[in-house]
Amino acid sequence: MVVDTTAQCLRRLPRFRNSDCSGAFCRALERKGRCGTFLLLLTGVPLILAAKSILTLWLGPVYAIHGARVLRVLVVANMIWLSAIPYAMTLVGAGQQRLATVTPLLEGFSNLLASIVAGYMFGAVGVAMGTLFGALVGVAGNFVYAANRWACVWNL
């Protein structure tokens, strides 16, 4: 839902391809970032707060006891990861997606490594924590890249 909403909002960005788009890029990023963050909070916070209740209704109390912690970690990881979607979609809309190739690789490798190590140590919750770590690396990488390219990111 968040990705689709952001994609629909960014349809007009290809006009930035052949011009200096830093001001327009930053304005679009700020608007979509605020909207996306609101949608993430609207959908994610209820899942975090009611994880055990939802799992109890859906799968029963035995699974809910153990699964609620995993669900909470995965929802937080997903919210963090999805917070970068407006930035990624804006890059694609501006025709600059080739500039952000290192960050997804770092995110994927860190997610895999952290999930294997933490999964070995803590089980399913560890794998979820590895996913959370990968999301943090991905968003941090996007922020570092964007902050070096567009100064307005520091003002967001």
All structural domains of the chain with their residue ranges: 2-155
| End-to-end Cα distance, the chain | 23
Hey, what's the torsion of the CAs at 130, 134, 135, 139, to 10 degrees? 150
Distance CA 140, CA 121 (A): 25
Which pLDDT value is given to residue 147?
64
Which pLDDT value is given to residue 27?
72
**Per-run averaged pLDDT (10 residues), the chain, 156 residues:** 54 49 65 79 92 93 92 94 78 70 90 97 96 94 71 49
CB atoms within 10 A of CB 120: 10
Query: What b/e readout covers 37-73, taking b as 16+ CB neighbours within 10 angstroms?
Result: eebbeeebeebeeebbebbbeeeeeeebeebbebbbb
Which pLDDT value is given to residue 86?
75
Which pLDDT value is given to residue 22?
57
Query: What's the predicted TM-score (pTM) here?
Result: 0.76
CA distances from 55 to 29, 66, 70, 72, 136 (A): 35, 10, 11, 11, 26
Which pLDDT value is given to residue 131?
96
Which pLDDT value is given to residue 118?
97
Which pLDDT value is given to residue 98?
72
Which pLDDT value is given to residue 19?
45
Which pLDDT value is given to residue 5?
53
